[in-house]
Structure 1
Amino acid sequence: MGHRDSGKFRLAALSWVAVALFIALQGFSAGAVGQSSPATGAQAGQQQGSDGPVLTERPAPKAKSLVIPEGRIKLDVVVEDSEGSPVTGLQPWDFKIVDNNQPRKVLSFSAFSDAGVRPDPPVEVILLMDTLNLPFQQVSFVRGQIGDFLRQNGGKLKQPVTLIVLSDVGIRFQPRPSTDGNAIATVVEGIKGSVSMINPAMGGDGYVERFQRSARAMDNIAQNEARKPGRKLLIWVGPGWPMLNRPANGYSEKEQRRNFDNVIELSRVLREARIMVYSVAPATGATPNALYYKAFLSPVKTYRDAEFGDLALKVLVTQTGGRILGPDNDLVGQINQCVEDASAFYRISFDPPVAEHADEYHDLSIVVNKPGVTVRTNSGYYNEAAAH
């Protein structure tokens, strides 16, 4: 007997027990029961009065939720109107994924906003104070501006914040994110400025050292955040690290291959950690090379194209879909603009095509079926050849 028939059998048995108990309480004889005709459902209800059993409709079974697995490439997407305000209410059919000029199917889609579904865990803001690359005389000013940001609204932060300090002795992490801005501001106020041991007197060696330490710090942060769920906004407060020129005698093949491996690894881990990078900078006077980073925005498709400049801060900002703000002395305003990106975003995924070779670069473009909008997300990825 199936489960459904067994259930009916048990219900029938329980009903007869209830009838027998009712008869016993009323003093009826078994013979009288045998002579009576069975009552209809309506009659039974009339005989037992308004307190008797009432027939009700069985609710329809709940529909099973359809779980669609995410694609291999997952993207966080920010959509803004012409005034820079977030665009909400978009549906999956409003998005078109273009991978190397070919459309790809959206496999999963989620929309998040302050007024709708909120992400769980909430978007984390990673606030990095870069004392390694800041001029010594600016450290105090930057520290004060970060403190002012944290103490806004009575210290009640809209997003959980993690503080990181980069200096010539390494990086120091806040143990866990917090929405208590006053507590974090107290930590910031305790940061003492000091003259870096890596200074202009070191010449080119000093630039190389700052570049290596900064790029390594970025990788360490991304590797650490990749172990944690949720989306992150990494706001780098400082001018960024030096953009090293190609050596006069060029790069050796070994150096180029190492640079290429670093570019691929950092691109991958930043995307998988769900990090958008932001550049926030104070005014520093004349900046003749402020736009030099644009020379490195072209995709690095082979190791022969790889240079140190491909790992520059503003290049990573552009590739992850973040913002480049400043330089100006309203750091509080700059940071607030960055944090606004947490208020509304979309999460989509797709499967990449089969790669012809390892580390095959793919250009990405997300097109939204709305006029006058700007879309920010990862600009590309490195595809892997299928395992045989």
Structure 2
Amino acid sequence: MLSARAVLSGALLLSALVFQAAEAQSAPSSNQPPASDVSTLHVTSQLVFLDVTVLDAKGHPVVSGLTQNDFTITQDKKPQKIFSFEAPDAHIITADSSASKAPVTIFVLDRLNSTFEQLAYIRYCMDKYLANQPLELDAPAEVMVLGNESLEMVQGYTRNKQELLSAVDHLPSVIPYKDTRSFFAERFVQSIDGLRQIALENSGVPGRKNIVWIGHGGPSLYTSLLDDITADKVTTYIHQTANMLVNSRMSLFLIYPGLEVANPLGRPTSVISAELPIGDDDPFSGDVNFGVFVNETGGQLFYNRNDLDQLIRTSIELGSHYYTLTYQPPENIANGKFLRVRVTMRNPALHVLTKAGYFAPDKGQPSDPRFDALYHIAEAAQADVPFSSLGLTVQKVVRHRDTNSAEITVAVNTKDIGWKPRNDGKSTVDIGFAAASLSARHDILASKTEALTLINASQDSDHLEKVQGHLTMALRIPRRTRSVRLVVGSLVGGRIGSVDVDRKTIDAASDVPTPEPKLIMQPAKAPPPR
């Protein structure tokens, strides 16, 4: 049976893709998308948005000839009055229109759940797709990479094809070593947290967002194998994740990399789940996998095909030609239950792709203060004002021009960070570490967020007041970068510190090739005594 610690080793942290223990070194203290209002992370009963892709019998999007009267909405089998209606042409960028209603695309290259060969094929197909696009894309897109330790935005939203190609072409070589059973729990948590971080990053971006996830997605988890307490925690965590995606108007399109016709284990559970219709009850009860998230968010899963570039085009087409309907639920439900939403067409020959429902707020579910802390840390990375509750100084900058990236090391004065004693005589503190490459207008061009645990061998308060933590962040530096902001914050207590590095400092730094990836060999364990 899986333990709660194994499955939830980062589940309560918003963007904690993995906990990394870093020994804080003792040293004397040294003196040295357009932003928008934060939206609630709970589905509100005031207005429910439904982005509906209508398909004909051949699976092609229907983009004209339909009116509001052709649609029927029900919630838990009760008819709902359509409050507003938008046709697909309202979401097209023209010379005279704003881009705010156009759908955006988030490309996720899944290094975490792929083999080295699969990752190379994913990059090749992504390159092939982008090479066939016009110099200016029809709508903005960004590129993210889910790696061994974190989710990284390597190129923020842009319509410039060359910027997207450059981001893909300059990805550093990394050995994806976690695609084994021994890393099951970590991959599950990191993959779901990747979805959460994408939803958070896009919570203030208007309109529909399409996640085109190229890779296997996280592994499947059967909650029946867990003890009751752990299963309840996982269920709450998954329900929150589903609501974050739904509230951000996100659809998940999952593209498996390449043919698996000779797979001796049969079709993956995610593939089977994506083909099953969602009933009236919680779709995540019993089994949690990316196929269920695909169904829940109104996306699609593609499996056992080797034309990934065409599947990318298909995903974007399905996510770009849609009707937007809204309705106002008649009741303010707060029981945490799944509310099943259905959209049916007057013409039975047509069918739809749209979200399957959402989970009502649960007033009995307490919020996690660390969730809010990481939210504020991510926000601080884009803010104009400095943060000084924690002292941060830049210690070293190294440029890697071969991958358009830089490594920046900062020293953190941990005097007020909130050390907590452990039973083994050591002290520990959980922190968030975020960085963002910013344009002259403070648009995020690349970003990365990590959750770390600092550990010190002492519990002496006088000693801990003099401790400095030394943290290094590797981040892409796109062409339009004018500065990089680094932010460190304690997850309990909310203290935040920031430091900014201008482009001149980065360009003047010593340039060294990006280190080649290496697997660290662990020493063989001594045999147990007889």
What residue in structure 2 maps to residue 10 of structure 1? none
Counterpart of 1:31 in structure 2 is none
Instruction: Please list, as runs of the form range in 1=range in 2, the aligned pairs for 1:122-271 lying within 5 A after superposition.
Output: 122-174=102-154, 176-200=156-180, 203=181, 205-246=182-223, 250-271=225-246
Please say if 1:96 is aligned against 2:75: no
Distance 1:100 1:264, change over 3 A: same
Structure 2 counterpart of 1:279, one-letter code = L
- Deviation at 1:262? 1.5
Give, as a single letter, the amino acid of the residue that structure 1 aligns with 2:147. S
| 4+ residue runs over 6 A deviation | 114-119
Who wins on radius of gyration, i.e. which is larger?
Answer: 1
Distance 1:324 1:295, change over 3 A: closer
- Structure (1 or 2) with the greater helix fraction: 1
Distance 1:103 1:176, change over 3 A: same
Alignment: residue pair count? 310
Question: Does 230-239 or 322-331 show the bigger shift?
Answer: 322-331
Deviations 1:324-344 (A, max 9, x none): 113222110000001112442
SS at match of 1:218: helix
Pick from 351, 358, 362: which aligns with 2:335?
Answer: 358
1:292 to 2:269 alignment: yes
**C-alpha distance 209-128 of structure 1, shift in aligned 2 (>3 A):** same
Segment of structure 1 superposing worse, 365-374 or 107-116: 107-116
| Alignment partners' CA distance in 2, 1:199 and 1:98 | 41
Q: How does 1:14-25 map onto structure 2 within 5 Å?
A: none
Aligned residue number for residue 379 of structure 1:
356
Name the SS for the 1:226 alignment partner. coil
Q: Within 2, Cα distance between the matches of 1:302 and 1:372?
A: 28
Find the residue that maps to 1:223 and give its secondary structure: helix
TM-score (norm 1): 0.73
Alpha-carbon distance in 1 for matches of 2:93, 2:116: 44
Q: Which has the higher contact order (CA 8 A, sep 6+)?
A: 1
Structure 2 counterpart of 1:140, one-letter code: A
Q: CA deviation at 1:176?
A: 2.6
Residues in 2 aligned to 1:381 and 1:339: alpha-carbon distance in whole angstroms:
24
Match of 1:345 in 2: 322
**Is the deviation greater in 289-298 or in 352-361?**
289-298
Structure 2 vs 1, CA of residues 280 and 206 (structure 1 numbering), >3 Å: closer, same or farther?
same
Residue 360 of structure 1 deviates from its aligned partner by 2.0
Query: Would you tell me which structure has more strand in proportion to its own residues?
Result: 2
2:109 alignment partner, SS class: strand
Shift of 1:268: 1.1
Note the alpha carbon deviations across 1:256-311, whole angstroms, 9 max, x for none: 221221222112111111101001122253343525234596569579x745x32x
Per the TM alignment, residue 169 of structure 1 is displaced from its structure 2 partner at its CA by 2.3
Q: Which runs of 5+ in 1 are unaligned?
A: 1-69
Q: What per-residue deviation string (whole Å, max 9, x for no partner) do you get for residues 135-167 of structure 1?
A: 111211211110111111444322211000111
RMSD after superposition: 2.8
Q: Secondary structure at the match of 1:120?
A: helix
In structure 1, what is the Cα distance between the partners aligned to 2:105 and 2:92? Answer: 20
- Secondary structure of 1:85's match? coil
**1:108 pairs with 58, 67, 84, which one?**
84
Structure 2: distance between partners of 1:217 and 1:73: 24
- Counterpart of 1:273, as a letter, is S
How far, CA to CA, are the matches of 2:360 and 2:222 in structure 1? 29
The C-alpha deviation readout for 1:66-121, integer Å capped at 9, x for no partner, is xxxx9521111111111222222321111111211111111111112289787633
Aligned to 1:275: 250
- Structure 2 unaligned regions, length at least 5: 1-44, 365-530
Do structure 1's residue 313 and structure 2's residue 290 form an aligned pair? yes
> In the alignment, which residue of structure 2 is the partner of 1:17?
none
What is the identity, as a one-letter code, of the residue corresponding to 2:89? S
- 1:234–1:275 CA contact under 8 A, matched in 2: yes
In structure 2, C-alpha distance between the alignment counterparts of 1:270 and 1:342, rounded to whole Å: 15
Structure 1 residue 322: Cα displacement: 0.7
- CA gap 1:302/1:89 in 2 versus in 1, 3 angstroms: closer
Q: Is the 8 A contact 1:233 1:276 kept in 2?
A: yes
Contact in 2 for aligned 1:355/1:384 (Cα 8 Å): no
8 Å CA contact 2:256, 2:302 repeated in 1: yes
User: Residues 114 and 341 of structure 1: is their aligned pair in 2 closer, same or farther, counting only changes over 3 Å?
Assistant: farther
Are the structure 2 counterparts of residues 165 and 110 from structure 1 closer, same or farther at C-alpha, using a change threshold of 3 Å?
Answer: same
Separation of aligned partners in 1, 2:92 and 2:122: 35
Question: 1:354, 1:386 within 8 Å by CA — same for their partners in 2?
Answer: no
Return the letter of the residue paired with 1:327. N
* CA contact 1:280–1:327 (8 Å) conserved in 2: no
Describe the SS at the equivalent of 2:295: helix
Match of 2:35 in 1: none
Q: Displacement of 1:168 after TM fit? A: 0.2
Contact kept in structure 1, 2:155 and 2:167, CA below 8 Å: no
Are the equivalent residues in 1 in contact too, given 2:255–2:308 (CA < 8 A)? yes
Asked whether the 8 Å contact 2:251–2:319 carries over to 1, the reply is no
TM-score normalised by structure 2 residue count: 0.54
